[in-house]
Structure 1
Amino acid sequence: MQIGIFAKTFARSRLEDTLDAIKAHGLSCVQFNMSCAGLSPMPDQIDPGVAEHIRHAMATRGMTMAAISGTFNMIDPDRRSRQEGLRRLGVLASVCPRLDTSVITLCTGTRDPENMWRYHPDNNSPQAWEDLIASMDEALRIAEQNDVMLAFEPEVANVVDSPAKGRRLLDEMQSPRLKVVIDGANLFHAGELPRMHEVLEEAFRLLGEDIVIAHAKDLSHDGEAGREAAGTGVLDYDDYLRLLRASGFDGPLILHSLSESQVPQCVAFLRRKLEHQESAGLC
């Protein structure tokens, strides 16, 4: 596994300065966000020259873009907002070849009209699922046209709030272009922390073969997605990384939900855990 980081962890006015800050921590793999290039995360349009500039800046530093964030609310209660999100997804997908990346990360969304990461009781309605399927169908059409993969993340506040629903989505869409971002800190509904091992095992049993990116952060309590830096909460990282390895995953392990000042300790934490697995013959 290769340790990487959300590029937007580092707040700099110039893309080059952001990338240099990442490299200074011994990291060369990022999940990119267009805000790092001075644009909105989901731009209305992207000049091809900007995309070429990003690729050149990364290539000259020996860096890779594991994925680019393309999150919008796929079940927004406002249909026009969903349509605009899909249009902008198309804009982003069209420049992925120039960015030298082939994975766009998604948010399956919520009925909350203001925050796509906030739980809403209507997420469990049949209509919410129908809207997700409709949005995902169009998103996959865009992915096919632009030769990219889409990766969604099961998250307790979203319509896909469990590994079981993630499996259901994969089975219903039946597309080789639909994959999974796994985040062990996002899977625990209220009261489930005492069952941590069982919840993690179920996630990898149902989704393991479809994981293309793993996130590394932490949680202090269940009932909502974790927002703590890796190694500062209660997630059993030995179990999480063991299950990642056992699933056959050997891709990018992306740090996020951390401040810039926490980067050294979090990178060191992950390296220790990975080295321990290797020395113990767990990889």
Structure 2
Amino acid sequence: MQIGIFAKTFSGTSVEAILMAVREAGYAVSQFNLSCAGLASMPDAVSEKVLRKIRAATKASGVSLVALSGTYNMIHPDEAVRARGLRQLGVVIAAASHLGIPLVTLCTGTRDAEDQWRHHQNNADPSAWHDLVTEMAKALALAERFGVDLGIEPEPSNVVTSALDARRLIDDMASPRLRVVLDPANLFETATAEAAAALVRDAVERLGARIAMAHAKDRAAIGRLVPVGHGIVDFADFVARLRGVGFDGPLVAHGLSAEEAPAVARYLRAVTT
């Protein structure tokens, strides 16, 4: 597996400095965000100058970019907000294509109008699923045009809350471009180690070949995020199960500080070798 980290773990807007920090911390690949190049995460445009800067930085650092963030609230209650997000997603997808980045990550959204990562009681309403399917069809058309895959991630706060929801959306959309980013710590908020392991096992088995990228984040039993290896996620078992379904892609750390990054890289190398 390729051991990676969110580029945003490291501060600044110098792409070369950030990717050099990624490499020096012990990572070979990175999930990139356009804010690391001094743009908005979801910009209205990406110039050729910025694209050249990113290409030069990846070459100089030797760090490969395996995913690009394209998150906006896909079921925002205001259709105009969704429309703007879709336009910006088109910009991000085009940039990913130009940079040779194979995957753009999404946020399946929430009915909360202020925070796309906050749960809302209306997420379970059938209209929320209808809006997601409608929006996803538009996003997949863009992805098909540019030859890029889209990654959805089960998150307790979003409309796709579980592996079961992700499987349902994959079946509804019937597009090979729709893939999954699987973060074991996002499959639960509070759990025992045994319950967490069961959720992870079910998710890997259910999603299988659709998993394009795995995330490495950990939680304490009470729900608090903790450094990888210090919570209740059994990462050795997670890695073994991913390999069991044929996954050999990027395992990308996030939810950590720059200071914690080298130790997490060492830990992830230990559980993947």
* Contiguous gaps of at least 5 residues in structure 1: 276-283
Figure out how many residues of one structure are paired with residues of the other and give that number.
Answer: 273
Q: What is residue 264 of structure 2 aligned with on the other side?
A: 266
Deviation for aligned residue 1:230:
1.2
CA deviation string 1:159-182 (max 9, x = no partner): 000111100000000001100000
Q: What is residue 238 of structure 2 aligned with on the other side?
A: 240
Answer yes or no: is the 8 Å Cα contact 2:26–2:262 preserved in 1: no
Answer yes or no: is the 8 Å Cα contact 1:229–1:256 preserved in 2: no
Q: Secondary structure at the match of 2:150?
A: strand
Is 1:76 equivalent to 2:76 in the alignment? Answer: yes
Answer yes or no: is the 8 Å Cα contact 2:110–2:123 preserved in 1: yes
Deviation for aligned residue 1:47:
0.6
CA deviation string 1:201-254 (max 9, x = no partner): 1101110110010000101136x7x63321121111122111111111100000
CA deviation string 1:30-58 (max 9, x = no partner): 00000000001011111122112201210
Answer yes or no: is the 8 Å Cα contact 1:105–1:150 preserved in 2: yes
TM-score if structure 1 supplies the norm length?
0.92
RMSD: 1.5
Q: What is residue 210 of structure 1 aligned with on the other side?
A: 210
Q: What is residue 85 of structure 1 aligned with on the other side?
A: 85
Q: Secondary structure at the match of 1:209?
A: helix
Q: What is residue 230 of structure 1 aligned with on the other side?
A: 228
Q: What is residue 54 of structure 1 aligned with on the other side?
A: 54
Structure-2 change in CA distance of 1:27 and 1:122 (3 Å): same
CA deviation string 1:169-199 (max 9, x = no partner): 0000000110000000000155575422221
In the TM superposition, 1:1-283 aligns within 5 A as 1-188=1-188, 194-221=194-221, 227-275=225-273
Q: Which range is displaced more, 51-60 or 143-152?
A: 51-60
Answer yes or no: is the 8 Å Cα contact 1:229–1:262 preserved in 2: yes
TM-score if structure 2 supplies the norm length?
0.96
